[in-house]
Amino acid sequence: MIAIIDFGSQYTQLIARRVRECRVYSEIFSCHTDAETISRLKPEGIVLSGGPASVYRVDHRRYRSLFCLGVPVLGICYGMQLAAQIYGGRVKRSSTREYGPAIIRTHASPLFYGLPGSIRVWMSHGDTVMKAPERSRIIARTETTPVAGFQRGNFYGIQFHPEVKHTEGGKKMIENFLTLICHARKNWTMSKFIHDTVQEIKIQAGDGKILCAISGGVDSTVAATLTARAVGKNLIGVFVDNGLLRHNEKGEVKNIISRFVRVRIVDARQQFIKKLANVKNPERKRKIIGREFIRVFEREADKIQGIKYLVQGTLYPDVIESGMGIGPSDTIKTHHNVGGLPSRMRLKVIEPLRMLFKDEVRKLGKKLGIPKSFIERKPFPGPGLAVRIVGPVTPQRLEILRQADRILLEEAAKLKHYHAIWQIFTVLLPLGSVGVMGDQRTYDSVIAIRAVESEDGMTADWVRLPREFLAAVSRRITNEVKGINRVVLDITSKPPATIEWE
């Protein structure tokens, strides 16, 4: 097992993902976790993540014991700076910050085994190690950063981020650390995850009955199927029609989900729309939706004797962006099923996928026997169309967006590279736009098209859609959807934007 210490970096989960891709099990721990707790788990190595703080502004003495556990340690960005400070080096605010690509020159080190001496990497730091600690050896440098990496005993520090795809050979570096330095065992697989998780659910739930929140998406379906392996007929799925669904979503869910789990469909459209009336703030929307979902589930639970647990398809990116992560992460946006949950709940929550990424969930789904056609569906947010309407949610605006989204997906399904698009959807903007239709002036709403490619949803780039496709979508939306007279394209990556607008 590799212990990853989270200092609040948005990339921490990518480190865990890269380690798992190498078939080595990893767990993430808060930087507030004491070394004794880590030691009891007998890790084969430790990785220190990046983070937003400056090491010379924190009491770094509390972390000294992490370097005394007798196992190799890899420090990334902030993790390297922390080690430099602890070992007597010097770290300070650099005059030239590095954000983005850089070229490092490497020196002999098992960390760079099999890689060229010049490597393009991804930097993201404002502080710099100005002086390496005594008894250490510099293993990497750039034109502006003389200490871009150093080794001291069984500590290896690098200023750049090998976990992001922009670093050439980054995965190879991580694999080198795992195999050549830590001698870690490659024994973590989806089969093992299924076995361990099923056993955990059996122990937690016992003979009790469990409700499972079904959204119709991949995450909740995989969570339900996995839980069903543990409790069988004691699992009851609940699909809530909250009025915020895509075109014909309810019918598709009923046809697909019923193959795996018995499911109840609850009509709560009026309840949700009423609660969202005149609400503009996206954080309030998400929290209202999360609260109302729980109220529906609790009402359904009251109808069935013995219900104590609620299964959700929460993923780790949801936790991180909600500011509910393991380390001191910032809140990007509250996910309705994490930070949107009420503080008091009668049902205990089971989240079997909480530590997985989207791509891992898809692999898990295939392993569980869920059809490929369903596993590869485009992600749809739990709060539904409410967070794709910027501004107040009304029945009229919902129908406008629903029809525009239907048209976009109909046309997108014809694209040759449709399967490679991570997400493609429409957003209704709170703007009025002057137009001309039938020789008459109009003043209607604006629809934005958003399409991104990604591996795990943590970072994303916008898709270069064909002109002919965009022209066809724009023409159909403005002609077929009453209330829209302008269509625009979002060409922003994540970061700086998020995938969803709200």
Query: CB count, 10 Å around CB of 474?
Result: 19
The whole-angstrom separation of Cα 69 and Cα 154 is: 11
The whole-angstrom separation of Cα 318 and Cα 11 is: 14
Q: CA-based Rg of the chain, rounded to a whole angstrom?
A: 25
| Dihedral class, residue 309 (left if φ above 0, else alpha if ψ from -120 to 50, else beta) | beta
Q: Are 46 and 73 in contact (CB under 8 A)?
A: yes
Catalytic, out of 98, 163, 351, 360? 163
Query: CB count, 10 Å around CB of 450?
Result: 22
Is 212 catalytic? The answer is no
- Specify which residues 450 forms β-bridges with: 425
SS3 state at 384: helix
Catalytic, out of 161, 168, 249, 292? 161
Q: What is the DSSP string of 53-78?
A: S-GGGS-GGGGGGGGGSSS-EEEETH
Give every CB contact of residue 412 below 8 A, 6+ residues apart in sequence: 418, 421, 424, 451, 469
Is 161 catalytic? The answer is yes
The whole-angstrom separation of Cα 205 and Cα 230 is: 9
Q: Are 291 and 343 in contact (CB under 8 A)?
A: no
Q: What is the DSSP string of 284-348?
A: HHHHHHHHHHHHHHHHHHHTSTTEEEEE----HHHHHHTT-SSSSPPPS---TTTTTS-S--SSE
First vs last C-alpha separation in the chain: 37
Catalytic, out of 77, 125, 321, 351? 77
The whole-angstrom separation of Cα 79 and Cα 352 is: 30
Tokens in use for 321? 């962006």
Is 292 catalytic? The answer is no
Q: What does the angle CA 170 – CA 174 – CA 177 come to, to the nearest 5 degrees?
A: 140
Asked if the peptide bond before residue 495 counts as cis, ω within 30 degrees of 0, the response is yes
Q: What is the DSSP string of 168-217?
A: TTHHHHHHHIIIIIS-------HHHHHHHHHHHHHHHHTT-EEEEEE-SS
Catalytic sites, residue numbers: 77, 161, 163
